[in-house]
Amino acid sequence: MDTTQRRIGIIGAGPAGMMSAIFASQNGAKVTLFERNQRVGKKLAITGKGRCNVTNDCDNAELLKNVIANPKFLYASISAFDTQDTKAFFENAGVPLKTERGRRVFPVSDDAHDIVNALHRQVLDNGCEIKNERVTKILVENGQVCGLEAGGQRYALDAVVCATGGVSYPGTGSDGDGFRFAKELGIKVTELTPSLVPVETIEPLGELMGLSLKNVTLKVTDTDTSRIAFSELGEMLFTHFGLSGPLVLSASSHMAKMRSGKYIVSIDLKPALDEKELDKRILSDFSTRVNKDFQNSLGALLPSKIIPYIVRRTKIPPSTKVNEITKEQRHTLVHTLKELTFTVKAFRPIKEAIVTAGGIDVSEINPSTMQSKRISGLYFAGEMIDTHAYTGGYNLQIAFSTGALAGTHSAWGD
């Protein structure tokens, strides 16, 4: 098939958009990449706290296990461009990579800008044109894309790849333009909600702000059903508004139909010890501190910042001498350490979410090509699509895989 004359417009120069541009141009198309910001990859540059967890060094089956919404839809795109392809892409682009705990892959430099710059170089080296203009409309005639409007001009095109991202971090440019385009064209968009997002708690936690806990178990219980919605060992963080950190972000993906009081978060501060073993440990610590006040007796067991809070939660008078603490009070302490509970009030605003849950309904898209079933020549890629995953590099891999597939098939015209 002669693809040299196909003109492709790509909206959004994030990870999905830039990968689409690269693959479309490599497959013979003339590519124009439209980016409303003055620089590409603005959101990508801040991912992973500026380090960029670029993918996860796992096989396809494991990756799909970590996809929360519509994993089957991604089978074709992940098969076409998988995690090993992503690693090879960046290594070949001059970015050495390393694999850390949880198979998370980062640039050796720990600098997300190296990932952004590598994509940018590949876009330019493959002959793509970048226009720093905001797209205002996708043009369609008789059910076929014919161009787009941007910067007050019309551009005649054979296909458009829409990769504008979700609605989280709108300051980076992801403020919902792509969803507006889709709705204008009659394409179904599912409800947009925050995912991988911190939570606010009813209990004030300002005094614990900044405290990070490692190797704790976090459990979420749905009070409507009494069922455990999430339980996992890992790391979490206290904030001025409530809870954050990897465990909390993952747990948020399992909290549906959020309302104040619907979910209870329980933290096991000592998951390696059962209650009996923890009681023995406390007795041992107390035996060396018999004349100390209770509030000064937990330094070997807990981070100093959380001790006053734990003391209050037990309701044991802080000045009680250790040798005066009753068996019942000790059991209260054990229970508090094994089940430190908080009531979730709300998600933080969607603009603070790592990813957007919801988006272009997957029933609207051909999963083998990323082309709209409704509008010929219109393709979708990345966070716009109603599919997302846990933290760990999986969401960026989805962006790269869907972007590569959309770019390839937009160039082929199928």
Greater model confidence, 1 or 31: 31
Residue 2 is predicted with a pLDDT of: 46
Q: Which two tokens stand for residue 68?
A: 């929360």
Residue 195 is predicted with a pLDDT of: 83
CATH number of the 7-193+356-412 domain = 3.50.50.60
Is there a common fold for 7-193+356-412 and 198-347? Answer: no
Residue percentage of the chain with pLDDT more than 70? 98
Q: Rounded distance, CA 76 to CA 292, Å?
A: 64
Residue 1 is predicted with a pLDDT of: 42
Provide mean pLDDT across the span 141-157. Answer: 96
CATH number of the 198-347 domain = 1.10.8.50
Average pLDDT for the chain = 94
Q: Rounded distance, CA 329 to CA 333, Å?
A: 6
Q: Rounded distance, CA 347 to CA 262, Å?
A: 12
Q: Rounded distance, CA 8 to CA 306, Å?
A: 56
> Which of 147, 198, 189, 253 lies closest to 384, judged by CA?
189
Model pTM score: 0.84
- Given a contact cutoff of 8 angstroms between Cβ atoms, the answer to whether 24 and 8 are in contact is yes
Residue 172 is predicted with a pLDDT of: 63
Q: Rounded distance, CA 302 to CA 67, Å?
A: 35
Q: Rounded distance, CA 351 to CA 390, Å?
A: 18
Query: Taking each helix axis from N to C terminus, what angle separates 327-338 and 275-287, rounded to the nearest 10 degrees?
Result: 120
Domain boundaries, the chain: 7-193+356-412, 198-347
pLDDT tens column, 311-324: 999 999 999 999 99
Q: Which residue has the tokens 């409800």?
A: 191
Q: Which two tokens stand for residue 2?
A: 């002669």
Residue 180, pLDDT above cutoff 90: yes
